[in-house]
């Protein structure tokens, strides 16, 4: 069952708790990639950044 929302609302259905979990997960991935270092770490950071930018763009 979908939640009702106002017509002028910018809420896309992601709760604050889910958003915080997503950002925490992304931070952990980036931290692990930074600890790994080298090209593998750099690629992991770039992929994570691209995924987060894509997620943000999809929510606009």
Identify whether 54 is part of a domain. yes
Closest CA to 26 of 50, 6, 5, 2: 50
Identify whether 12 is part of a domain. no
pLDDT score, position 12: 62
Domains held by the chain: number: 1
Identify whether 16 is part of a domain. no
From residue 9, how far is each of 5, 6, 22 by CA, in Å? 7, 5, 22
| Assessment of whether the complete model's pTM goes beyond 0.75 | no
Identify whether 20 is part of a domain. no
Identify whether 47 is part of a domain. yes
pLDDT score, position 58: 82
Q: What DSSP character marks residue 52?
A: H
pLDDT score, position 15: 78
pLDDT score, position 40: 93
Identify whether 11 is part of a domain. no
Q: For every one of its 60 residues, what pLDDT tens digit does the chain have, with 9 covering 90 and above?
A: 565 655 555 556 677 788 888 889 999 999 999 999 999 999 999 999 999 999 888 877
């Amino acid at each position: 069952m979908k939640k009702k929302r106002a017509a002028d609302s910018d809420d896309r259905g992601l709760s604050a708790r889910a958003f915080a979990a997503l950002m925490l997960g992304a931070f952990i991935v980036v931290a692990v990639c930074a600890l790994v270092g080298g090209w593998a770490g750099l690629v992991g950071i770039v992929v994570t950044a691209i995924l987060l930018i894509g997620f943000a763009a999809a929510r606009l």
